[in-house]
Amino acid sequence: MFVSPAIRPAHRKVFEGVASRPEMYALFNRHAQAPFDDDRMNGTRYVGEWFEITEAEHDHMLEILPPLFYRGDMFAMREFLTASITSVFFALTIDDRSRWFHGYCDLSDRQSPDRMRAEIIARESRPVRAMNAQEKLDHIWSTTGPDFRGYADARFPADLRNRQIVLVYPSAQGKIWKLLDDLTAQEIAAKLPVQFRHLDETIAA
């Protein structure tokens, strides 16, 4: 179910749960191993990704540098990740509860932060906790250490190069590198935390 970065959903949750400070910084670096191709250089690989953080991490990031802008319930980091992509932080009230989020927005589109805000609220207002298939794969990628994930290289056919790969451990073969998008339902369940394995699955918007 390979989905090119260029045609992935406009906004996508890449981590289930509330990220701690070490997890937040690891999520900032979830594409650190990516090849320096057009998707990385122009920000396509990052833009639209979001995840939940704590109030302390939200406030910590606000204090690092004066924000590029601060309006209402959001602010943007002054330092751009690449091209016109930067971090936007949100302090939102969802179902009468205060929550905090980080997302990568393309500020060449002035409406990008508002659309992400609306998407986060819609996604997190679901009456039943669920993860769609892409969210499960993104969570696995986000929580897999750099030594156990990578990008397809010369060991793979040319048409598979630069796609995300992870180590799996089939009993008969010891360990092998496998395309993230080719993980079986059993392999996905094995790599997800126990509390996420049996969540209802939704269809990606």
pLDDT (tens digit per residue) in 49-90:
999 999 999 999 999 989 999 999 999 999 999 889 999 999
Asked which of 93, 124, 155 is the last residue of a domain, the reply is 124
Asked if residue 112 and residue 14 are part of one domain, the reply reads yes
Looking at residue 203, its pLDDT comes to 44
Euclidean distance between CA atoms 98 and 58, whole angstroms: 12
Contact residues for 24 (Cβ-Cβ < 8 A; gap 6+): 51, 53, 57, 102
- The reply to whether 201 falls in a domain is no
Number of domains in the chain: 2
Average pLDDT, the chain: 89
Asked if residue 104 and residue 38 are part of one domain, the reply reads yes
Q: Which domain holds residue 56?
A: 5-124
Asked if residue 119 and residue 138 are part of one domain, the reply reads no
Asked if residue 116 and residue 37 are part of one domain, the reply reads yes
Asked if residue 140 and residue 115 are part of one domain, the reply reads no
Contact predicate 184/4, CB 8 Å: no
In what side-by-side order are the strands of the sheet with 176-179? 149-151, 164-168, 176-179
Asked if residue 179 and residue 110 are part of one domain, the reply reads no
**pLDDT exceeds cutoff 50 at 197:** yes
Looking at residue 196, its pLDDT comes to 78
- The reply to whether 90 falls in a domain is yes
- The reply to whether 202 falls in a domain is no
Looking at residue 201, its pLDDT comes to 59
Asked if residue 63 and residue 114 are part of one domain, the reply reads yes
Looking at residue 6, its pLDDT comes to 47
Asked if residue 120 and residue 42 are part of one domain, the reply reads yes
